[in-house]
Chain A
Amino acid sequence: MKSLLATLALTSALTLPGVAAAKPVTLTATLNDYGGDGAYLALYVTDANGAYAGSLWMAGDKSKYYEHLRDWYRATGGSLAEIDGITGASVGAGRTLKITLDLADALFDAGYELHIDAAVEDMRDSPSDVVVPLTRAGTGQPVAGRRYIRAVAYDM
């Protein structure tokens, strides 16, 4: 029941920004100078059991490369409906992706985790390059990624 509520809250938070229980959250992800082309990034959320809960943002517009974002692709089957309207350009090496989203309060301190899958053309795929637990205490704390992401932080 609780997870269902949270799922509903998440989806409605994304589509109805006026809902009272949501807050604008700024996500900042800085990439390493990995010496390659622009990186495709999939930002999505998993619940306390590790199951996929919803996508937040897709950086990269050519759908034929989405299969390289392996964990996201596995969870969603590559469904474009999941990222309808929340797609942007890929992010260059050393650059920063900064997005502001309305996230439901119920997402925080409930075991939800933010995943970012990353992939670069002709270089290794990096599924779940960084995993950040969503907690109020963790606001502003940068978390390092494994390969392409230097640091991710979120601000409320």
Chain B
Amino acid sequence: MLRQFHKLSGLLAALLVTVLALSGAVLSAFPALDRAGAVMAPTDAISVADLAGRIADHYPSVEQIRRTPSGKVIAFHFENGAPASIVVDPVSGQAVADYAPPALERWMTNLHRSLFLDDAGRMVAGLGALAMALLVFSGLQITARHMGGWRRVLGRARGSRHRRLHVDFGRPAATGLMLSALTGIYMSLSTFGVVPDGSAQAPGFPEQVAGGPAIAVDRIEAFRDIGLSDLRELTFPYPDDPTDAYGIKTATGEGYVDQATGQMLVWQEYGLARQVHETIYRLHTGQGLWWLGLLLGLAALAVPVMSVTGMLVWASGRRGRPRIEANVPARAADTVILVGSEGGSTWGFARTLHDALTATGHKVHTAPMDSLAPRYRAASRMFILTATYGDGAAPRSARRFLARLEAMDAPAFPVAVLGFGDRRFPRFCRFAQDVEQALLRKGWASFMPLATIDRQSAQAFARWGTALSEALGEAVTLTHVPARPRSHTLTLLTRRDYGEAVQAPTSILRFAVPRSGLLARLTGRAFPRFAAGDLLGILPPGSDIPRYYSLASSSRDGVLEICVRKHPGGLCSGHLHGLRPGATIDAFIRSNPEFRPASGRKPVILIGAGTGMGPLAGFIRANRRRRPVHLYFGGRDPGSDYLYEDEIATWLGDKRLSSVTTAFSRVAERVYVQDRIRENAEALRTMIAQGAQVMVCGGRNMADGVRAALEEVLIPLGLTAAALKAQGRYAEDVY
């Protein structure tokens, strides 16, 4: 709900808010410039009488003296009959420079305040300030929730590059932006008279003046009592008009002074409304507070970055999810479907279910699992359809589900959970099972037991639909047609084969990166940038279900490189193994931002076996900064399946790789990579104590063995693998 609001306001107001912020940032420099151009004097020592006297000595035709909030003293006078304005040194009373308000400042102020459109423009600018305040507020709330609480709100941002940029720029700028927005809203309201700005109570011109001969301005008693730092504006009377009087405005009030007697004739203190207005004005513009102005200007510079990254996050979010027609709002729905999806395929199944139930007359609300609400006013049942990420973790749209479940009471309506997974992995549908357990523990009623779907089987889904029809007492037919993901055509450049001799046929395949024309890049259909660790989703002929392979290269390398192990009977791996250079495949990129070395120079420990070497090779290749990288590689026979053997020698030579430790399991000395870990426990402990991170890639069995070995290594440090994982220093890419 909050995210929808933030998205909507952001999209609608992005341009307006960016224009206001950029013009504001430019304007924020002017108070500082003003201050730099002012001649400062020890302001206590000089009274207004002294100042006025000195200026009048040099410029007898002086009409008005003004002091800006930053301390600049300006005098308006006549020179040979023509009006002139000068900046004055208060000590000597002489001109320092001509005064001309910079045209840029005026132009920018008109843009910022009213978009050059007078009152209508001011209203729009006011709405822009309101939008800014709402965006900052909702953005902070979303970030706190995303991080898991206000106490962790300053932690490391997660997610795709654009999301991380959005949060990293938004957090430091939030205070400044909120201050500018709130003061801007107040100023807008006061322009339209909604809040008082205290300007209505100016004192009237005195009815009687003494009328005698004028005394010299530096002998005027009323001015001796006022210090220079309090002066705002002093207006001289007409030279030959005895009925005129001095007009004086100070920081605390304004009034009129008799030019013959030197007494204050009329004086009015500024009321509270005026002082509040002035304070808010200064907080917004930074006038008189030049350092604040600069800080607010810096904060404002974050806004265009956030507009752009925000829109990119929105765009990529839209691409991940299929459109769900007739999606009823949560409070009106009688059936709620919550979806936990990583790559988007589960959403497709949810849409089939949604459409089928809507066709039989239900009002269905489909949403991500993260949007679990404490109350669904009209619901009679809930479905939870969820995939599993990696090793039993929650998929992308369900990361906060379990926490939210803990915080709410069991509702009156029953729930049914459907898990999606792959039976080839031992922890089949692990997250779905965790969800079911949690629901039972919290006392939720269940109207169907946990069911699972293997490898996105449409038949299994249809069978579940039959069981659902019985449970509901109405006919529900689920015919799922998986949407074929949008793909590009890739051409195979080279292949290298390993492992034939040890019954582990593995190939390193290199594909050309497809070139995208300008139109494709503008419409967002260009081949995206990728880095080692991301996934290449390949659509083999005869199937619309993609198979994923970890990438061993980055966009910078100019090729798409993957390591493929041929599985007996595997549709995709078999097809890939049969490819000759020049053949083409259909594929797309799925980003995997969680499996990346953290930025910085701390050491990285890479542990992989077999095809798991792929992304690790990519990381080593990309190690331009030459941080310490230590590789542990496991294979069967160094003569047959030592992947990247030649490259590893090169990388050791140019220091992209600091050390490599190998373990081969089908030679005389059969060692596994986890044994090597135990052997090098001391060295590993030292590195981990220095802040190193561990990245593991490979098959499930190897990953389990490595984890067990690492737990042993970590005991003396008082750490566990889970603790390292929580710090972001232990990452696995396991299949």
A111-125 CB mask vs B (1 if < 8 Å, else 0) is 000000000001111
Cα(A75)–Cα(B110), bound, Å: 32
Write out the residue numbers on chain A whose beta carbons fall within 8 Å of the beta carbon of B100. 35
CB <8 Å contact, B110 and A37: yes
A86-126 CB mask vs B (1 if < 8 Å, else 0) is 00000000000000000000000000000000000011111
Residue of B nearest to A35 (CB): B103
From 189 to 236 in chain B, residues with beta carbon under 8 angstroms from any chain A beta carbon are 197, 199-200, 202, 204-205, 235
Task: Kindly state the interface size class of chain A when it binds its partner.
Answer: 10 to 19
CB <8 Å contact, B101 and A123: yes
Task: Kindly state the interface size class of chain B when it binds its partner.
Answer: 10 to 19
CB <8 Å contact, B205 and A77: yes
CB <8 Å contact, A64 and B106: no
Q: Is A136 an interface residue (CB 8 A)?
A: no
Interface SS, A side: loop
Residue of A nearest to B205 (CB): A74
CB <8 Å contact, B199 and A64: yes
- State how many angstroms separate the Cβ of A81 from the closest Cβ of chain B: 15
Cα(A16)–Cα(B620), bound, Å: 92
Q: Is B85 an interface residue (CB 8 A)?
A: yes
A59-82 CB mask vs B (1 if < 8 Å, else 0) is 000001001001001100110000
Q: Is B735 an interface residue (CB 8 A)?
A: no
CB <8 Å contact, A78 and B101: no
CB <8 Å contact, B83 and A64: no
A140-156 CB mask vs B (1 if < 8 Å, else 0) is 00000011000000000
Q: Is A36 an interface residue (CB 8 A)?
A: yes
Cα(A29)–Cα(B339), bound, Å: 71
From 76 to 111 in chain B, residues with beta carbon under 8 angstroms from any chain A beta carbon are 76, 83, 85, 100-101, 103, 106, 110
CB <8 Å contact, B200 and A37: no
- State how many angstroms separate the Cβ of A126 from the closest Cβ of chain B: 8
Total cross-chain contacts (CB, 8 A): 32
Write out the residue numbers on chain B whose beta carbons fall within 8 Å of the beta carbon of A146. 83
CB <8 Å contact, A122 and B106: yes
CB <8 Å contact, B205 and A64: no
Q: Which of B64, B106, B197, B205 contacts A124 (CB 8 A)?
A: B64
- State how many angstroms separate the Cβ of A145 from the closest Cβ of chain B: 10
Write out the residue numbers on chain B whose beta carbons fall within 8 Å of the beta carbon of A36. 101, 106
Q: Which of A78, A122, A124 contacts B202 (CB 8 A)?
A: A78
Write out the residue numbers on chain A whose beta carbons fall within 8 Å of the beta carbon of B269. none
Cα(A84)–Cα(B110), bound, Å: 28
- State how many angstroms separate the Cβ of B159 from the closest Cβ of chain A: 46
- State how many angstroms separate the Cβ of A52 from the closest Cβ of chain B: 12
Q: Which of A74, A77, A125 contacts B64 (CB 8 A)?
A: A125
- Can you sample 7 A-B contacts with CB below 8 Å? A36-B101, A67-B202, A70-B235, A70-B247, A73-B205, A74-B205, A123-B101
Q: Which residues of A contact B (CB under 8 A)?
A: 35-37, 64, 67, 70, 73-74, 77-78, 122-126, 146-147
Q: Which residues of B contact A (CB under 8 A)?
A: 63-64, 76, 83, 85, 100-101, 103, 106, 110, 197, 199-200, 202, 204-205, 235, 247
Beyond known contacts A123-B85, A125-B64: 14 more, CB 8 A cutoff: A35-B100, A36-B101, A36-B106, A37-B106, A64-B199, A64-B200, A73-B205, A77-B204, A77-B205, A122-B101, A124-B64, A124-B83, A126-B83, A147-B83
